[in-house]
Chains A and B, each alone.
Chain A
């Protein structure tokens, strides 16, 4: 999974394997800092379905957001 963010002159590119274990790990850590972060139990079934979808249908851009006001650009490619 590729997460691309252009904001305030920074260009961030994250290339993450779409891995249930990794997502669960990341969310557990993030939840220590904010209770807004969803429970891994909710997200993991979605990751499994997204992996299945990608295997069957190929790459897809899940989300693309261009904010004209502050020039922020966010893209998530599966």
Chain B
């Protein structure tokens, strides 16, 4: 099911750690306006789309539901790993939601430390135990960006992994 613009705004705002009031202040609108957008009771004015996307660290296309960027390959020399995020989204059949945004630079440190990595992998019921972070890092260092994995399991769980 495609996400609404309200859901996307809410999700991106949470990822940035902004409150509705803080986002409203950046855009010179009221907190109520942001609240209405997120509940899909109204939509942002077209003139606000660019500043809104900028404030949320995304693109206008993504706000409008074009989806996160598809997998792309960039020149590994130009990749700045210190700015990159590994995003893991899990929506379980039971309605549980897990969102993890992990700086790639921190992930690199983790993969060098077996003890710590095991601790992370066993967290939240071992939800991440089947993710091969070393392979993901290998892809990233080769310049592969965007959506890396999307899984809809037979149990109804949906897992997505992005690097952006």
**A-to-B contact residues, CB < 8 Å:** 2, 38-39, 42-43, 45-46, 49-50, 52-53, 56-69, 75, 77-78
Contact = CB atoms under 8 A, between A and B. Distances in A.
Given A42-B115, A59-B18, A65 B124 contact: yes
Question: Size range of the interface on B?
Answer: 20 to 34
Interface in B112-152: 113, 115-116, 119, 124
A61 B99 contact: yes
Interface of B: 14-18, 82-83, 85, 94-103, 105-106, 109-110, 113, 115-116, 119, 124
Contacts of B102: 62
B103 A49 contact: yes
A2 B110 CA distance: 22
B98 A65 contact: yes
Contacts of B105: 49, 52-53
B85 A60 contact: yes
Contacts of B14: 61, 64, 75
Contact of B99 (A43, A63, A68): A63
Tell me what chain A mostly uses at the interface: helix, strand, loop, or mixed. Answer: mixed
Contact of A53 (B15, B95, B97, B103): B103
Contact of A62 (B96, B100, B124): B100
Contacts of A75: 14
A68 B119 contact: no
28 contacts: A42-B115, A46-B106, A46-B110, A49-B103, A49-B109, A50-B106, A53-B82, A53-B105, A57-B83, A57-B103, A58-B16, A59-B16, A59-B17, A60-B16, A60-B101, A61-B17, A61-B99, A62-B100, A62-B101, A62-B102, A63-B98, A63-B100, A65-B96, A65-B99, A66-B95, A66-B97, A67-B96, A75-B14
